[in-house]
Homo-oligomer: A and B are copies of this chain.
Amino acid sequence: MAEPLGFRPLYRQVKAIFVRRLVDGVWAPGEGLPSEGQLAAEIGVSQGTVRKALDELAAENLVVRRQGRGTFVAEHDERRILFQFFKLVPDNGERRFPDSTVLSAETGLADAAEQAALDLTAKDRVIRVRRLRSFETVPLIVETLSLPQRLFPGLEAGPIPNNLYSLYAARYGITIAHARERLKAVALNADDAGLLGVAAGSPALQIDRLALALDGMPVERRLSLCLTEEAHYLSDLR
């Protein structure tokens, strides 16, 4: 007669405690967590329960476990971004990371698409960064990022590094946990085509990405136009 869906396993409650600590920055990226035994004693559950909670966090790439060393908060280093968040790879040759040239960085009122994606109102402001990304001087991607200004005050003023997710974490305490991408094939307009050095109307892969923080809050929208003559978007279906 009790609630049929009111059951929540102990290890998930423990996991929620840990996620909270990650969101609050109690455990910062790169830092080592206490050992399983210490955590178990502190919370008052068995080591096996702590282990199951940490295993799930590791499966979600929020922590990294290293046998013999310990459990560490995941960082957005180049390698991780390259494999988890950057799916465009050259047809021939190794997975690489493109350079970025910032074309503009400014603020403005959120448009309809930005409001919908980022849970904003017409009164909210966004920071927009437009940049060109290249593989060894060959332009490949032109993209526009939209960020809620409230979350990233002053970002548009400072230098904008290639690896933004690392900046979000270090300077604003926001960790990107995962992202949802929507892909379409489109014809380039004259502006974008010019930037990429191809004819207007050329086909390009449009990637509309929404990146979410640890707690599921939408944090960044990114609209990328990619040339796919010599590269492809890799998707593994398991």
Contacts and interface: CB of A to CB of B under 8 A. Distances in A.
A219 interface: no
Choose among A180, A203, A232 the residue with the greatest number of B CB atoms under 10 Å from its CB.
A203
Nearest to A181: B235
Choose among A202, A203, A237 the residue with the greatest number of B CB atoms under 10 Å from its CB.
A237
Nearest to A225: B185
Given A60-B238, A178-B238, A237-B178, A184 B228 contact: yes
A237 B180 contact: yes
A172 to B, nearest CB: 20
Contacts of A232: 182-184, 208
A87 B178 contact: no
Nearest to A237: B179
Contacts of A183: 183, 205, 228, 232-235
Q: How many copies does the complex hold?
A: 2
Interface in A104-125: none
Interface string A169-182: 00000000111111
Interface string A197-208: 000011111101
B237 A87 contact: yes
A182 to B, nearest CB: 4
A236 interface: yes
A46 interface: no
Given A237-B85, A237-B179, A238-B60, A203 B228 contact: no
B237 A182 contact: no
A236 B235 CA distance: 9
Nearest to A61: B238
Given A87-B235, A235-B235, 5 more contacts: A84-B238, A180-B236, A181-B237, A183-B228, A185-B205
7 contacts: A60-B238, A85-B237, A178-B238, A179-B237, A182-B232, A182-B234, A183-B235
